[in-house]
Amino acid sequence: VSHFLSPQEITEGDRVWLREEEQYLPSTVSSCSGGVVVFATDYGQVYTYKQNALSWQKVQPMHHSSIRGVEDMATLEDLHDGAIMHNLFLRYQQRQIYTYIGSILAAVNPYQLLPGLYDRQAMEMYSRHHLGEITPHIFAVANECYRSLWKRQQNQCILISGESGAGKTESTKLILKFLSAMSQHSLEVSCRDRASHVEEALLESSPIMEAFGNAKTIYNNNSSRFGKFVQLHFSQKGNIQGGRIVDCILLNPETPPCESSLRLTSPKTSFLSRNEVFQRKSRFIRYLWKPDSSVFNCAFK
């Protein structure tokens, strides 16, 4: 169990957790002389304290597992929010967007394309390994779910949660992509063409769902305004035989300033000039956009 450092135990160069405003900041003791201690955090802040005024609950030594970063945060010795966030930060800097917490996968949206991360070679590699044997990946979770269907002979469920823009919709697409590939692989060559339309229908349904249920928000340019329950049906041979998508938790249609409602209805009014929109004072138009919304401004350029 980690303990707090007394002011006398602090030395220059130490890697520590500095407690500021109820959060732990990863820091380095950049200077400790003349009765003054200077802490430089990994996030760019600098804090200066008189050594004899430091509270004994202010500084905690950093375990080496937090210094290096780990693939599975269940193995972290420092157990607080700051250690979790710092570990995700370290891995993100290394272009590693996936990290385990036991059997849970934490994903950080990279907001860029990562070549090779989701190609066929990646799918084949993760299909040959159990969860935790190689680098964390969403394909590893999908593969574990697929394997457990036959190992446990029970229905399986993957729950994807996160804030707006975290990548929930894209993660769902990637899981469907992997399961579709495994479904095709399980079939004899002669049967693959007949079954391929099922997988294609599942994968190609996402843009349609997004057209009806996505909109721009201040946090996300393509935010899903509803939840989805995706159900797949597998045969005893391991191929997908069917599935369904049920929408749920539809968000309140009231559109706050700087946000739009639904994506598909927007093009219906694109032929109108700005003056015509205001002259008609249509309830339909007011539902789509707020006057100060950037979506409104872009629609009539």
Instruction: Please give the annotated binding residues for ATP, written as ranges.
Output: 162-169
Residues 71, 57 contacting (CB under 8 angstroms): no
Q: b vs e for 107-135, b when ≥16 Cβ sit within 10 Å of the residue's Cβ? A: bbbeeeeeeeebeeeebebbbeeebeeee
Distances (CA, A) of 203 to 102, 171, 173, 183, 211: 29, 12, 7, 13, 14
Structure tokens at 89: 């930060």
* Annotated binding-site positions: 162-169
Q: Which parts of 240-282 fold into alpha helices (H)?
A: 274-280
Q: 106: which strand partners? A: 99
Q: Which residue has the tokens 């590699």?
A: 125
| Burial class (CB within 10 angstroms; exposed 0-12, middle 13-18, buried 19+) of 279 | exposed
Taking the C-alpha atoms of residue 66 and residue 76, their distance in angstroms, rounded to an integer, is 7
